[in-house]
């Protein structure tokens, strides 16, 4: 199991809620982040972190569609984060 922290954000990127999750891996936590975002139409995005590394950001756009933003491997190398 891997420990993650999910932050539910408002439109101004302020943290509304935080959730600690233990999952099998990144794919499972992405699905749970999408579920968290879909629970409330006022939530704008969810960021998932593993320690100091952002795994994924799930966002709701103006038309209420949900999209994922993953940090690229290149960005990880530039910031010195392990891949």
Confidence band, pLDDT 50/70/90 cuts, at residue 43: confident
Confidence band, pLDDT 50/70/90 cuts, at residue 19: very high
Total of domains in the chain: 1
Neighbours of 26 (CB within 10 A): 15
Higher model confidence: residue 36 or residue 65?
36
Q: Which domain holds residue 37?
A: 2-79
Q: Where does the chain show beta strands of DSSP type E?
A: 2-9, 15-23, 45-50, 53-60, 66-70
This prediction has a pTM of 0.72
The percentage of the chain sitting over the pLDDT mark of 90, rounded to a whole number, equals 35
Q: What is the dihedral of CA 59, 60, 65, 69, to 10 degrees?
A: -10
Work out the average pLDDT over 41-49.
88
| Backbone φ and ψ of 47, nearest 5° | -105, 140
DSSP bridge pairs for 54: 49
Higher model confidence: residue 45 or residue 73?
45
């Amino acid at each position: 199991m891997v420990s993650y922290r999910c932050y539910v954000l408002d439109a101004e990127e302020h943290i509304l809620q935080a959730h600690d999750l233990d999952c099998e891996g990144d794919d499972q936590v992405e699905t749970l982040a999408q579920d968290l975002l879909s629970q409330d139409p006022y939530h704008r995005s969810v960021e998932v972190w593993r320690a100091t590394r952002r795994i994924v950001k799930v966002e709701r756009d103006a038309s209420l569609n949900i999209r994922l933003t993953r940090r690229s491997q290149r960005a990880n190398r530039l910031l010195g984060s392990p891949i």
